[in-house]
Amino acid sequence: MDPTTPVLRDSNLYRYKGFCFFKELMPLDFIESLQDFEIRDDDVFMITYPKSGTIWTQQILSLIYCDGYRNGTEFIDTAEKVPWIEFRSYDKDADCNSRPSPRLFASHLSYNFVPPGLKNGKAKVIYVMRNPKDVMKSLYHFEAMANYAETSPDFGHFFHKFLDGDVFAGAWFDHVRGWYTHKDEFNILFIKYEDMIMDLRSVVKQMCTFLDKELDDESLDIVVKRATFNEMKKDPFANKENMPDNFFDLKIGKFMRKGTIGDWKNSMTVALNEKFDALFQEKMADLGLHFIWDMNGGI
Ligand code: PPS
């Protein structure tokens, strides 16, 4: 019997154990094969719900780990330095076994789909989260430019689609709750997008400490400078300009779109916002997680 179920508002997706996968890009047998993926003690995984600062953190990890990337002598796609484990089509080297340590990986997977070797081990996980109203806004725009997702007619429609988890990766609430409540099983550092916006240098230092990577002040300055929104906006890899045309329509939108806190206010009505706040309270209050919701520091 097929263990997957259809996703109501996007026929490109299938749901399996609460997560929504792209049918074409993430076949079930491949996802299940990740259970056999061998983890090394010095592996580093960067995990996010989509639109939470993935490419930003990929960039920072590349800059921290690769001298050539930092000093500008290397021009390599960050997605090659920090490849996805769940997108088979992205993989140049499917099981990544030939890659030298330390290996860096990116993933949008929920805690129950990552390779089991990540649990109770030495390998490191950096989980980046972002306030879900901005995640929703960013994903709404992304959906319009992604050729493999069904586009919503308006933000109101997308709002319900997002709340019901009828989007890639499923419901934001489940993703964050899953990782946060299982944190004791992983060697994990939680980072917030908003803290990166407010004080990038401090967050990079925090990451370096967690990763046992000592950078001198000059190197740290370079990492921070090259990871600013304005610098990344000019970077063709950060904007995925090298991806095949059939993936994204970059005339419709950009990966480096606004890069700010509170853009949801430009789309969410008062009624939708109240509904969201009530749901957020109901689903997340017990976790004690706090987010910055706008540039005035509204918490
Ligand atoms: S994806 O498609 O899931 O990998 O997207 P992801 O990279 O997680 O998220 C994209 C959003 O991150 C913003 N971004 C940044 N903000 C501030 N500073 C820097 N350097 C930066 N890099 C990426 C990007 O603009 C997307 O957010 P929105 O709100 O759409 O602008």
Is 108 catalytic? The answer is: yes
For ligand 1, mutation pick of 108, 197, 255, 267 (most atoms within 8 Å of CB): 255
Residue 96 pLDDT greater than 90, yes or no: no
In contact, 4 and 14? CB cutoff 8 Å: yes
Q: Confidence band (pLDDT; 50, 70, 90) for 299? A: low
Is 48's C-beta closer than 6 angstroms to any atom of ligand 1?
yes
Residue with the smallest CA separation from ligand 1 atom 4 is 54
Q: Confidence band (pLDDT; 50, 70, 90) for 90? A: very low
Predicted confidence at residue 95, as pLDDT, reads 55
Predicted confidence at residue 88, as pLDDT, reads 64
| Residue 298 CA to ligand 1 centre (angstroms) | 20
Mind listing the domains of the chain with CATH numbers? 5-287 (3.40.50.300)
Atom of ligand 1 nearest to the CA of 108: 3
Residue 298 pLDDT greater than 90, yes or no: no
Atom of ligand 1 nearest to the CA of 256: 25
- pLDDT cut 70: percent of the chain above it: 96
Distance in angstroms (rounded) separating the CA atoms of residues 47 and 109: 7
Average pLDDT across the chain, whole number: 92
Distance in angstroms (rounded) separating the CA atoms of residues 275 and 126: 31
Is 258's C-beta closer than 6 angstroms to any atom of ligand 1?
yes
Distance in angstroms (rounded) separating the CA atoms of residues 177 and 116: 18
38, 53, 63, 101, 103 from 98: Cα distances, Å: 12, 28, 22, 9, 10
**170: amino acid identity, one letter:** G
For the stretch 33-47, pLDDT in tens is 999 999 999 999 999
For the stretch 222-264, pLDDT in tens is 999 999 999 999 988 888 888 777 778 878 888 899 999 999 9
Average pLDDT over residues 105-126: 95
End-to-end CA distance of the chain: 46
Residue with the smallest CA separation from ligand 1 atom 13 is 259
Model pTM score = 0.95
Residue 92 pLDDT greater than 60, yes or no: no
Atom of ligand 1 nearest to the CA of 52: 8
**Burial, 93: exposed, middle or buried (Cβ in 10 Å; 0-12, 13-18, 19+)?**
exposed
For the stretch 117-165, pLDDT in tens is 999 889 999 999 999 999 999 999 999 888 888 899 999 999 999 999 9
For ligand 1, mutation pick of 46, 47, 56 (most atoms within 8 Å of CB): 56
